[in-house]
Amino acid sequence: MTNFTATVESPVGRFGVEGTEAGVTQVLLPTDRPRASAGRAPAPVASAARQLAQYLAGERRGFDLDLAEVAATDFQRDVWAALAEIPYGEVRTYAEVAVAVGRPLAARAVGNANHHNPWPVVVPCHRVVASNGLGGYGGGDRVKRYLLSLEGVSL
């Protein structure tokens, strides 16, 4: 199956949702420079793009999507599951996520797992911050600050 990309505009740039009939394979951040595919989006992609647009408009706080299976380690899957449990409008530190997945000394590894999260925003790695401030983000500080601000979080 070929991946289809739908795009969603935002004040910080164009997001993309990639996937097939089987589910969403990836959410692309504006720094990834997503480009829309021609034709009609498969249902999971169209639904995800619609939900992402609603989230970015401040009209949605969570996602109900079909996520495709992706290659990942057990640790990455554990981290991504922990990220999905962080409520809208709240943040956790990398160390707190490490404790949540039973690896209290693995804060840096949590950051690495976040970096490999194929579904940013949907699996909210932007809600993970450093103990002394913002921390890193694959989409850059501007996008992370925008997403947190959208949720009412200021750092």
Q: How many domains does the chain have?
A: 2
Q: CA–CA separation, 15 vs 19, rounded Å?
A: 14
Regarding whether 52 and 84 lie in a shared domain, the answer is no
Would residue 104 show up in a list of annotated catalytic residues for this protein?
A: no
Give me the catalytic one of 98, 125, 143, 147: 125
Please check whether residue 64 lies inside any domain of the structure: no
Q: Which domain holds residue 138?
A: 74-150
Please check whether residue 106 lies inside any domain of the structure: yes
What is the tens place of the pLDDT at every residue in 132-145?
999 999 999 999 99
Please check whether residue 92 lies inside any domain of the structure: yes
Question: Mean pLDDT across the stretch 32-56?
Answer: 95
pLDDT of residue 70: 95
Please check whether residue 33 lies inside any domain of the structure: yes
Q: CA–CA separation, 48 vs 37, rounded Å?
A: 15
Question: Mean pLDDT across the stretch 81-106?
Answer: 98
Regarding whether 87 and 51 lie in a shared domain, the answer is no
Please check whether residue 82 lies inside any domain of the structure: yes
Flag whether pLDDT at 153 surpasses 80: yes
